[in-house]
Amino acid sequence: MIRGLIFTVLVVAALQTSGCAFLRADRIHYTWDSEADIPCATCAPVQNDTDFVGVALSGGGARASVFGAAALEVLADAGVMEQVTHISSVSGGGFASSYYVLYRPTPCAAFVRPGGELCRSESFTTFNQAMRHNFLTDMTLRQVARPNRFSSPTRRLSSLQDALDTQFINGATFGDLPPSPVLLANGARYDDARRFVFSNAKISEGQSNIEPFTEQTLRTASFSLPGCTRATPKDFSVALAIAISAGFPPLLGPAAIEMPMSCAGGSTNYWHLGDGGILDNTGVETLEDFALHASTNARPVKRVVIFSMDAGRSTSADAMMQTRNLKLWTSDPGRVVDIVGKRASAYREIAISRMYEKSGASFHVLKMRYTDARIDTWPASCEPRTGGVDVIAQHLAQIPTNLRITECDADLMELAAQDVVGRALTENRALLQDLGLVLSR
């Protein structure tokens, strides 16, 4: 009785403060302006010889953003990032990818180390700290300040966009991005089940000559239309692209983009875009697709190296079947992405393996997953926890998918990145050098 009364009062108050927000139409997040944007003919960067070197940062909320930033620091310190041409990201990984592309932190390896002492790059320290920001609380406070957003997940997405802009993107648009490395932010177009990629490089909408991507559903969608090959418009907000990639209905999004039906204009189409993790939570597929379509000085790419940083949470079928109350929406919505992604991954493996066979290129995907880390000591922020490698591994696997992260979990994710990426570089050093990658350590 009392709970019902409280709920009624809150609903009435929300209606009064929002100006009948619950009856308002969902917003249009972006409307394409034909006068402000033109087809892109030369926006793809020049490749380095016939090599394609990419980094993929997976989804996983704040867990992924912290893991991604720490992983990029290890790669930068080893000299790898100087050779990376494309960075693909999904959801929380997009926080780290957009920050890196916008500000390009300087690695520790660029500094003199007196007596061989270890150092820590100040710019990467700032980067890592930015990824620990509590975006959930930040977004919620913006909801309180803008009550008209309570009623609509599409409007709530704008609160995340605002939080990202305020914290580190600072209003940057795709026109502000450097030509290299190319930023690839992955979403999903709910209208036709196609992967949608925001990019400062052009993506062709033409019929693919690579099987099995002759099937339209398997081809990448972007701002290109048939006959108009474009990059993401220069006035499109980077924060909005990253928010869309992280937006998971019914909590956030989808976003609505208003576009003409064809290059010549015509009637209006609405694209409804959201979390790319439901199609590929690793971001690897987009890099593979780009590499297979890319050319350098009129020559096809021959060598492809992809560093995959996977902070996605995966729950086994047995574990889920033994859980009585599986609160997918309230406790860990990221599990829904994992469920949907398992099926998409099965199709992807079949398609990609066929593409590899026919491409003539050598593909090398180095997979680094946070749950493979071997950490034997808890960081000080986790005290008074006890236990060794196995206990820490169990804790890592339970870090939730959320837009906030504790200091303990953030410290563990950084240690995990340092461990798995460092070991991968050491174990694959001969291969990487044979592929032409020059490691500085």
The pLDDT score that the predictor gives to residue 57 is 98
pLDDT digits 0-9 by tens, 321-346: 666 665 655 555 656 666 666 666 66
Q: How sure is the predictor about 435, in pLDDT bands with cuts at 50, 70 and 90?
A: confident
Q: What average pLDDT does the segment 36-58 reach? A: 68
Q: Which of 29-43, 150-164, 398-412 has the highest mean pLDDT?
A: 398-412
Q: How sure is the predictor about 404, in pLDDT bands with cuts at 50, 70 and 90?
A: very high
The pLDDT score that the predictor gives to residue 323 is 64
The pLDDT score that the predictor gives to residue 14 is 46
Q: What distance lies between CA 231 and its chain's CA centroid?
A: 18
271 pLDDT above the threshold of 60:
yes
pLDDT digits 0-9 by tens, 197-236: 999 988 877 655 555 556 677 778 899 887 788 889 999 9
Q: Which of 273, 205, 272 lies closest to 242, judged by CA?
A: 273
Q: How sure is the predictor about 2, in pLDDT bands with cuts at 50, 70 and 90?
A: very low
The pLDDT score that the predictor gives to residue 27 is 75
Residue 12 makes CB contacts below 8 A (sequence gap 6+) with: none
- Least-confidence region, from 119-123, 324-328, 377-381: 324-328
**For residues 338 and 278, what is the distance between their CA atoms, to the nearest angstrom?**
7
The pLDDT score that the predictor gives to residue 110 is 52
Q: Is the pTM of this model over 0.75?
A: yes
Q: What distance lies between CA 360 and its chain's CA centroid?
A: 29
The pLDDT score that the predictor gives to residue 20 is 45
* 3-state SS, one letter per residue, for 15-62: HHHHCCHHHCCCCCCEECCCCCCCCCCCCCCCCECCEEEEEEECCCHH
Q: What average pLDDT does the segment 416-432 reach? A: 94
Residue 19 makes CB contacts below 8 A (sequence gap 6+) with: 148
309 pLDDT above the threshold of 80:
yes
300 pLDDT above the threshold of 90:
no
61 pLDDT above the threshold of 80:
yes
Give percent of the chain with pLDDT exceeding 90.
Answer: 44
112 pLDDT above the threshold of 70:
no
The pLDDT score that the predictor gives to residue 434 is 85
The pLDDT score that the predictor gives to residue 315 is 64
